A and B are shown apart, each in its own frame.
Chain A
Amino acid sequence: MSNTELLLMKGNEAIGEAAIRGGCRYFFGYPITPQSEVLEYLARRLPEAGGAYVQAESEVSAINMVFGAAAAGARVMTASSSPGISLMQEGISYIASAQLPAVIVNIMRGSPGLGGIQPSQADYFQSTKGGGHGDYRLVVLAPSTVQEMIDHTVMAFEIAEKYCTPVVVFADGMMGQMMEPVILPDIEPVPSEKPWATTGMQGRGPNIIHTLHLPPDQLEWHNNRLFEKYHQIEAQEKRSLEYFTDDAEILVVAYGIVSRVARAAVEKAREAGVKAGLFRPVTLWPYPSEALVKAAGKARKVLVVEVSMGQMVEDVRLAINGRVPVEFYGRIGQVPTPEEILNKITQLIAEVA
């Protein structure tokens, strides 16, 4: 497979291949719809690539196997879908505290509880605000195409190793299941030096990886050190894309699969003479607040569209900070159509006219 060949790939399988091309050789996972193809693809491909794959007995075990493999210095990934990601939260808190690089893919499905198997974006709070116990942050990347699922997976490993921190690739069941033309990257990833890894001493002193800091001053120092890193990530890793924002009076804010639908709605609105624009966060944490405020410079209303009851809208309201009204439109179990979003845009422009 050359680097210019256009292939038709399913999102979940594309993530699996991207992980291998990104230098990942270890995967630990558990079957769950609509993510299972990541597992199936890597069960076949990882042994071919000289790596190892374990189907764990639960997502709880899978994330702890990730902890062990990351501690041993490997590039490692797990993938699951919403209920399985919930089971991983304890392990993710430990990985964040132990400052281990790891990639966690969430192919979100309907919720709460067992929910459904349709696409969803309702794990936004869980991934961007914490999810597990304690003060930590996860870098959250939100692709919107199968090509971006590939590119973001590769980027996730680079960010994870650069900052020694877990990174989430945040997609949904529609993207996991759909096929699109992609170009696979032909890259030679250079694994970073990991002098801290627990690999057996082999001539140095003992390396210890743990998360227990009993003395209060030590624990506070540890948390401060984590947050110095998070502030650095906030300064360097915010990403977003904009369409027609220069003069937008109605600014739509959407991420992932919804941003594609919203873009179609914005184009239709423009055809009808409505000055609509789209702001698409690519990193959900760190949230690109400054870019959003700039994009909303001429907006008279902001419309947030999500496949949830309204989660990212809170970050939009924090960023906009009362400058203009922020409206919300959400669906559950289905991605809204361009017509639905266009109707909402038309309604909002009529209100401010």
Chain B
Amino acid sequence: MAETVKVYSRPKTLIDKPWHFCPGCHHGIAHRLCAEVVEEMGLQEMTVGVGSVGCGVFSYEYFNFDGIGPSHGRAPAVATGVKRVLPDRLVFTYQGDGDLAAIGTTEMVHAAVRGEKITIVFINNTVYGMTGGQMAPTTLMGQVTTTSPLGREAKQAGYPIRVCEMLATMEGAAYVSRVALFNPAQVVKAKKSIRKAFETQMQGVGFSLVEILSACPTNWGLSPLEAAKYVENNLVPVFPLGEFKVPEGVK
């Protein structure tokens, strides 16, 4: 009789409740990766997660550690307040593209400028998901959304913002990377990247950010599999994957 080996279980940092996310959405994977890394680093008792407004708004209902629900876009400022009071804790934000790269651009940029020892986990799915698929600052050229019904045009709405490339120019930003979740190999890479970001923070090196290219099948009008392909074929050429900045010692 073959021996049973347990290779997979829910991390104790993730509460056992069904996701509110749509089928094929990558938020669930991203949540789980954060939770796994917190558990593997032994930081469940030392972590404060700061959510956002958007599809990530309920992160505190899934993570089994302390959590804060801030106002729209202000998570990096809230995280700054927590971290300055509790410098030895792991403090990370979980924000979407509207929250981080539109209304929260100031807070994001200046957290990086200060070299604030926090981590931003940035979900880029090119749309405002929670409000029903409006154009985001990361929406691709020509991409149809409810507020760019003819497709995003430069004349009307400019160009997609590349957060990693912008933050990589800043001395205070220590670890900056862009990953994706469109196949298992990418998921493994994404997890390693989140771990590096958290280690950058816990070693006191500086600010860290991981951008995760994610699928939003519902608002893209695609099946889960088509949406994963869309990330690979349409998002990656505009938002190239890779590490933009890696500090010595966490390589």
Contact = CB atoms under 8 A, between A and B. Distances in A.
Contacts of A66: 81
Contact of B46 (A68, A94, A202): A202
Interface in B42-94: 44-48, 50-51, 57, 60, 63-71, 74, 77-86, 89-90
Nearest to B66: A198
Given A90-B71, A212-B57, A198 B48 contact: yes
B114 interface: yes
Contacts of A56: 77, 110
Contacts of A207: 66-67
Contacts of A26: 81, 84-85
Contacts of A345: none
Interface residues of A, number: 38
Contacts of B84: 26, 52, 54, 65, 68-69
A326 B79 CA distance: 49
A61 B107 contact: yes
B68 A198 contact: yes
Contact of B66 (A58, A61, A94, A199): A199
Interface in A77-102: 90-91, 94
Task: Summarize A's interface: helix, strand, loop or mixed.
Answer: mixed
A297 interface: no
A179 interface: no
Interface in A46-86: 52, 54, 56-58, 60-62, 64-74, 76
A181 interface: no
Contacts of B80: 54, 61, 65, 68
Nearest to A212: B69
Contacts of B106: 57-58, 60-61
A52 B85 contact: yes
A70 B80 CA distance: 11
B129 to A, nearest CB: 16
Contacts of A62: 77
A206 interface: yes
Given A54-B114, A69-B82, A64 B45 contact: no
Contacts, number: 131
A164 to B, nearest CB: 15
A94 B85 CA distance: 19
Given A26-B85, A200-B46, A210 B69 contact: yes
A74 B86 CA distance: 9
Interface string A180-195: 0000000000000000
Interface residues of B, number: 37
A61 B67 contact: no
A206 B45 contact: no
Contacts of B107: 57, 60-61, 64
A217 B107 CA distance: 34
A350 interface: no
* Residue from B47, B50, B82, B110 having most chain A Cβ neighbours under 10 A: B82
Nearest to B79: A68
Nearest to B43: A200
A68 B50 CA distance: 9
B211 to A, nearest CB: 21
A157 interface: no
A201 interface: yes
A67 B65 contact: no
A253 to B, nearest CB: 37
Contacts of A201: 44-45, 65-66
27 contacts: A54-B80, A56-B77, A57-B107, A60-B77, A61-B80, A64-B81, A64-B107, A66-B81, A67-B74, A67-B81, A68-B77, A68-B84, A71-B78, A76-B85, A200-B46, A201-B45, A201-B65, A202-B46, A203-B45, A207-B67, A208-B68, A209-B67, A209-B69, A210-B51, A210-B67, A210-B69, A212-B69
Interface of B: 44-48, 50-51, 57, 60, 63-71, 74, 77-86, 89-90, 106-107, 109-110, 113-114
Given A68-B80, A199-B66, 13 more contacts: A61-B110, A64-B71, A64-B78, A67-B70, A67-B74, A72-B81, A76-B81, A200-B48, A206-B65, A208-B67, A208-B69, A210-B60, A210-B67
Q: Which 7 A-B pairs have the closest CB atoms?
A: A68-B81, A210-B69, A64-B77, A69-B81, A68-B78, A57-B110, A64-B74
